[in-house]
Amino acid sequence: MALGCLTCSWAQPGGRRGGNFDPKEMVLREKENVITRVDSLSEDQLLLLDGIYDEYATSVVEIRDEARKNRNFREMRPKMQALREEKDLLLKDVLNENQYEAYLALMENQRDRRRRGVQQRRDSVNQQPNG
């Protein structure tokens, strides 16, 4: 559910623009989505997921704040990618094969929705008359 919410919020006007982007909320929505969409999570898995996503949220905020401070957003992308890959590996260790496949499908769906939202915003900007 969190992934769907995360994706929807990014696709909505204002969802990620300006100063409205809250990485902790984004991570919380993703975690909630994983918890509701991945079947048969045990109590131990839920505890581990909480820890992984808490650390992930902290790291996302640190990377974003560093990029803002240094005004170097080009370095943010590879750092975020490495952080996501680390999270994926941790989740692969926690989830069984079927659960991990469901998680990967959720992540792919999220990326697709985000891409469509970005493209729609670009299209709408390109269609506005220059005045």
Q: When comparing pLDDT for 82 and 2, which is higher?
A: 82
* Percent of the residues in the chain that have a pLDDT greater than 70, as a whole number: 82
Output the pLDDT for position 11: 41
Q: Is 3 a residue whose pLDDT tops 50?
A: no
What does the block give as tokens for 59?
């790291």
Output the pLDDT for position 19: 53
Q: When comparing pLDDT for 119 and 64, which is higher?
A: 64
Output the pLDDT for position 15: 44
Confidence of residue 114 (pLDDT cuts 50, 70, 90): confident
User: What average pLDDT score do residues 22-32 get?
Assistant: 92
Sign of the torsion angle spanned by Cα atoms 120, 9, 50, 41: negative
Q: When comparing pLDDT for 126 and 31, which is higher?
A: 31
Output the pLDDT for position 63: 94
